[in-house]
Amino acid sequence: MAGDGRTIFVCDCEGTMDVDFDAIGKACGKAGGGKVVAGRQFCGVELERLRQTLGAPGDVTIACTAQAPLFREAAEDMGDAASLSFVNIRETAGWSVDGPNAAPKMAALIAAVAEPMPPIALVSIKSEGVALIYGRDEQAIEAARRLSDRLDVTVLLAAPRDVAPPRDFEFPIFKGMVRTATGSLGRFELTIDDFALPSPSSRASLTWGASKNGAASRCDVVLDLTGGAPLFPAHDLRAGYLRPDPRDPAAVERAIAEAGNLVGTFDKPRYIDFKADLCAHSRSKVTGCTRCLDLCPTGAIAPAGDHVAIDPEICAGCGSCAAACPTGAASYALPPADAVIRKVRTLLHTYRTAGGKDAVILFHDGDHGEPLIDALARFGDGLPANVIPVRVNEVTQLGPETLASVFAYGGAGARLLARAKPKHDISGARRVVETCETIVAGLGFGAGVVSLIETDDPDDLRAQLVAAPVGVASSNPAGMTARGAKRGVLETVFRELHHAAPAPVPVIALEKGAPFGGLDIKADGCTLCHACVAACPTGALADNPDKPMLRFSESQCVQCGLCQSTCPEKVITLEPRIDFEAWASGHKVMKEEEPFPCIACGKPFGTRSAIEKVAAKLENRHWMFTGANAKRIDVIRMCEDCRVEAVVNEGFDPHGAPARPPVMTTEDYLKAREAGKDRLN
């Protein structure tokens, strides 16, 4: 339990916050036995009180992040006996016009900081310092000269004009245009057209030898000073690719300095945990789900047979693929969805325990959201008392299971804070918000209670938070703790959401393309061939080994469309929706038949619908089963053993087909055409 045996130091920051220490102490105690120590200035006159606790073993939480370096230094001086954590209640709660009413939020933030987060997996990237300086003029040569003592540089000039040759060629200089570029820091591969070497006799300006297309280049770093179109999508997220505006000297200087440091081994987080066996991308060369491919801004995802492959070195961690992935094949790892949901649970439980009402969770990132919240606290009215901020790596990582959990645990609203001008496409986040808004509104939580706030203005953030509708908080919030793989967590959260809903309904229709739904299977046309079962990547469609049967589990269906595309009878239609009763009932029988008995021996060997359909297509239509051979259609209704016996006994000649018409040659066609002309004349 978060907060168990924890000493919590809370001060009012020299009287700038109105802190209800008793309310916080009671809530943190009920949430897990945390003991609150009240103060006024633990970073100054009361530091010695804190140092004594830091010298003893135990868990210590300090409700201040601004002086964290000082507190860590004090802990080191005392031998690092205590396990130390920090939480910001000043900019997020106390520094606000609603600060006197923010005790429930303060208690919630303090309790949630103790929620354990799993370790981060890392990807190692190695750069040997081989750099390509791609430019148009002397600016690229000068940048290469300044980097040549740190990097192994090569200059590539795109369509150069009147470029003065250097006094000495201390690094290679070529001419060429980059046609294609792939890779990232440590492993760029480029294809270059119009590639040429400079003439050694170049005098006033560089002259060039014969050029060729298709030259290949490999390097670790690319410094692009051309000012032209970027070589990569979402180029500012591509590690090792630096593209400053060549007209901005300060930007060029920063890029040169950054390029000079890109040598060695670097660790970056592995943002996505990918399980290929769960991927619903395709089966048997039939394309199904492409949600992640459509959303990835960096091109880190590519088809790889029946599944996709995610390049962890190119992935920039936006998490759009994980938020959209319906099967859980791609799940976010910084942190996983279940860890975020557990934090939401602790926040809302503690907030409610402390007497808080109408809680709204504000998800934000660290690069944009945190500075915006700080600015609002320092120079504006601060966050409303009922708005609890939750920092995540990227708001685009949040899937429907996380937003739904807010309402399942008793929240009254969920907001995602994004930039007014995003660094990458956030259409995936918009779809997640729209889907969740449809679901929670349909269950009676209220309209407009899930929303995306796109702003760079602190005051506008406050205005939108105040103006946004607050929903109906559940009077019967869930108590479950989310653990496990993403898809399993999603199913559990949605069932709990329905149980906690103010006005539950059995079915909610969703928009086309939603990742949840059922199937309309026209049973009369289904032959139980089970092509759909073989294509289904999630096991939503299943057979029965003991009986001709087609079963369907709606909770496992991700609306990938593979069954619809694969069905030879075209009797399957997707129906995007949430059917809570179907989710709770497991597999449902969609069609069932008795096995067809062999007309000779009585052995069951197939389904009546499939056999009769084949017979109907052949009887009196194919030469083998017409005229004198009409009775041979009976072999279709026999098992494999009786069929062989009947064919042998009847002396069936498989080569007794009617003679085919002669093959027409060009000469035959010409003669026929001439004969036709003669008849017309």
pLDDT of amino acid 319: 96
Instruction: Cite the DSSP H helix spans in 33-90.
Output: 47-54, 68-77
Residue 669: its pLDDT value, please? 80
Distance, in Å, from the CA atom of 615 to the CA atom of 592, rounded to the nearest integer, reads 20
Asked if 131 contacts 156 with a C-beta cutoff of 8 angstroms, the reply is: no
Provide the pLDDT confidence category of residue 681 given band limits of 50, 70 and 90.
very low
Predicted confidence at residue 670, as pLDDT, reads 82
Termini Cα distance of the chain:
101
In terms of DSSP bridges, do strands 517-521 and 572-579 run parallel, antiparallel, or are they unpaired? antiparallel
Structure tokens at 113: 């900081």
Q: pLDDT-derived band of residue 235, with 50, 70 and 90 as boundaries? A: very high
SS3 at position 667: helix
Mean pLDDT of 635-662: 75
The pLDDT score that the predictor gives to residue 1 is: 36
Q: Looking at the predicted structure, is the pLDDT value of residue 527 above 90?
A: no
Lowest mean pLDDT among 25-34, 444-453, 561-570: 25-34
Which residues, in sequence order, are CB contacts of 657 under 8 Å at separation 6+? 623, 624
- 537 dihedral zone (left: phi>0; alpha: psi -120 to 50; beta): alpha
Please return the burial class of 110, using the count of CB atoms within 10 Å of its CB with bins 0-12, 13-18 and 19+: buried
- The dihedral through the CA atoms of 449, 455, 456, 462 has a sign that is negative
Cβ of 412: how many Cβ atoms within 10 Å? 22
Q: Which residue, chain included where needed, has tokens 């060997």?
A: 605
Residue 656: pLDDT band (50, 70, 90) is: low
Question: Going along 522-621, which residue ranges are E strands?
Answer: 541-542, 549-552, 572-579, 588-592, 595-597, 604-607
Q: Express as a percent the part of the chain with pLDDT over 70.
A: 95
Please report, rounded to a whole number, the percentage of residues in the chain having pLDDT higher than 90.
77
Residue 243 pLDDT > 50: yes
> 């009769």: which residue's tokens?
612
What does the pLDDT look like over 76-114, one tens digit per residue? Answer: 888 877 789 999 999 999 999 999 999 999 999 999 998
d(Cα 222, Cα 5) in Å, to the nearest integer? Answer: 52
Is residue 563 a contact partner of residue 519, using CB atoms and an 8 Å limit? yes
pLDDT in tens, 419-441: 999 988 899 999 999 999 999 99
The pLDDT assigned to 3 comes to: 41
- 204-224: average pLDDT: 96
Average pLDDT, the chain: 92
Phi and psi dihedrals of 481, rounded to 5? -110, 125
Q: Write the DSSP symbol of residue 522.
A: -
Neighbouring C-beta atoms of residue 560, cutoff 10 Å = 27
Out of 98-112, 507-521, 602-616, least confident range: 602-616
Residue 2 has what pLDDT? Answer: 41
- pLDDT tens across 323-355, in order? 999 999 999 999 999 999 999 999 999 999 999
Q: According to the model, what pLDDT value does residue 618 have? A: 81
Task: State residue 623's pLDDT score.
Answer: 64
Q: How high is the pLDDT of residue 655?
A: 59
Give pLDDT, residue 543: 93
- Sign of torsion over alpha carbons 476, 477, 481, 486: positive
Q: What is residue 680's predicted lDDT score, i.e. its pLDDT?
A: 46
pLDDT tens, position by position, 355-404: 999 999 999 999 999 999 999 999 999 999 999 999 999 999 999 999 99
Query: Could you tell me the pLDDT band of residue 593, with boundaries at 50, 70 and 90?
Result: confident
Instruction: Report residue 586's pLDDT band, with 50, 70 and 90 as the boundaries.
Output: confident
Structure tokens, 603: 């052995």
Rounded to two decimals, the pTM is: 0.87
At 246-273, the pLDDT tens digits run 999 999 999 999 999 999 999 999 999 9
Residue (of 513, 505, 515, 498) closest to 555 by Cα position: 515
